[in-house]
A and B are shown apart, each in its own frame.
Chain A
Amino acid sequence: MTTASALEFETVIGMEVHAHLLTRSKMFCPCPLPSLDSPPNTDVCPICLGMPGVLPVINKRAVELTIMTGLALDCQIAEHARFDRKNYHYPDLMKGYQISEYDEPLCRNGRLEVEVDGGKRGIGVTRVHLEEDVAKLYHVTNPAGESYSLVDVNRSGVPLMEIVSEPDIRTPEEARAYLVELRRILRYIGASRANMEEGNMRCEPNVSVRPRGSSELGTKVELKNINSFRHVYDAIKFEVERQVGVLRSGGRIVQETRGWRPGTGEAVPQRSKEYANDYRYFPEPDLPPLAISRDWVEEIRSRMPELPAAKRERFQARYGLSPYDVNLLTESRARADFFEAAVALVAEERQRAKAVANWVNGDFAALLNAQNVEIEDAKVTPQHLSELIDLIEAGTITGAAAKAVFLETFAGGRAPREVVEERGLAQIIAGDEIASAVDRVVAANPKAVEDYRGGKQEAIKFLVGQVMRETRGRSDPNTARELLERKLGGAAS
């Protein structure tokens, strides 16, 4: 049944993304941007409070970040742009209108390439425009049973960029890939923190289905209240199945907005804002229009860093790494930079790249993740990692000791060589010290020795482990193994 429906219907998804821009002040007033823990109504002035008679002034940096986003998405950058008023009444909208861009957005006709299961597809970007965010509402029911809302104006006037895609997305996987890549780009160019959980990146997929082969669009449903990549995927999947179910049972899809409920795994109809489609846009009289010179655009382009897709390609070509490694390394610009800095410290870059990648994507990433630290804030430097790998390759320390050293460098920022010396972790080269440890281990573990002699090859691994433990990781495991085999081998035959 599911297979049959997948054959007969095609999913069509368009994505609207809103992202807070990483400016220092608000869109139209000099208030600082609120942080996640700003107390209510403390980053507010008469302009973002919507008092009568105040005048907004455009934040130049916000315009530049929007243009840079447009460039990163292969958009055409408008020569003329203009702000408009979008009129509606709602308690989170202080002025009774939102300043936005209606028919002259800063960027149009872009494209973002996404990769799903090795296949690449271009998703059209209809437009990127600039607007302001609204205040935050808290819905309250007090012990007396009264229901009301509380307004925190901090978020009012925060620069907000809207990125609208063409209805080119065909699967929940593609929708997720689009958002992941978009987030990566926004972070690379420093346009936004783009964190869905923190609410500074929000997405609203428009979902419809149509008979496969049809070129007409079905009735679309807009999904809201999605605040993680997991939810995007789950919500779209749910909605597609629901729509296919409705159509199969002879029903019709109603155009509406549905809110995702992660608890029950359903998207349920939301009461929409009244007359929501009657916004009566008109040009914002308080803001003179923008004329965007090509010189300015080129100047912004010249400040743009290497984008994720270009970096992935370069990393594969230059360092000969697998797509898997490269994907992880280029997850953030800081991680990619760390990798390149560590690799660049040695002459044989290509040989070293794999070892550095393994550390950066492995132990290092795991520690950063577990302790919730960003790589740029870590105490480990590219020099440290390079030095550690030198120590391993020179045979000075074992892999096991290296992990311990890395932990210590991670915790305290001390150079690996220093840690090795201080803690006496340098590998015991002297075979006789290992040999005496082997003697002690053999004496202490008669059962394992007997198993091994009885033909159970696996038992040797346990014994090697015991030798490593006995020498606090300072033995070369291969030497330990050889010595063990020699000692036990004679008796086994």
Chain B
Amino acid sequence: MSKHTTTVTVGGTASKNARKLTVASNRQSFFKRMMSQKMLIAMSLPFVLWLIIFRYIPVVGWLMAFQDYKPQNGFFGNEWVGLKHFRDLFNEPTFFRALENTIGMGVLGLVFTTLAAITFALLLNEMRFLKFKKLTQTISYLPHFVSWVIVANIVTTMLSIEGPINGLLTSIGILDDPINFMAKPGMFWGIVTSAEVWKSTGWNAIIYFAAMAGIDPQLYEAAKVDGASRLRQMWHITLPSIRSVIIVLLILSIGNLINIGFEKQMLLGNNIVMDKAIVIDLYALNYGIGMFRYSFGTAIGIFKSVVSVILILIANGFAKKIGEGRVF
């Protein structure tokens, strides 16, 4: 019994010592490697500091949402108020209008930009004249590269009272008198969505177009032998082949439904259509910075992040259910 115990102890000590040794030599080699990689450390350290300052400290700033933050008190000298700002938020009618507009324009934008990009990629993929095909694709990227300021400028010019759209509609008799599109609240969502489709279709189509290039040509050959028309080939071969790309991109964008930003609404909106143009980020900007309600504005940001995470989880679960695998 005692002999047995001894053996075990001895064995135990030996293996412990051995482990200690490897840990020591690992630590030494880690230290040695670290010393030999001084240059690599110097090349990454400034950027790690940058990431901490510019990307992590703002996240710590979330604590402000639970305080009554006043700049003169510094970061630590503020009164903790719990969920007060969130309660205030849910008691604001403007907030719900902003939420409605955000989701409304987010969904419209997602549906129509996706449909437009897929349609454009499908049809471009069928084009026969290679030179014209390349040229069309190059031209289709252009709006992606110009800023929203320029797009807003283009939209207001095109839709102005003496602009081309009014000119076209009155000359073919759809309108009797030119109308001021930008001053019609009911048209605002439509205008923003059209502008988005105009700006992003060519660019968004790149990824679908690339996916179509990877389809096995034998599939089309086989379909042709079976007498399938080109429309049927598009429907039964091309579309199903890019199905998983479509689903992955949709899931990624569903998480961003609430992160539609404020640029388009801020640039295209005006006081007349503000009820339809105010979105969450614009609301946070007006209240949080414009009215110095920093804690309130931060609470809006947190609300957005939470909704965004919930949306991603829902979309992810949905994707799993229909058997496309999860994105994360």
Q: Do A and B bind each other?
A: no
A interface vs B, CB < 8 Å? none
B interface vs A, CB < 8 Å? none
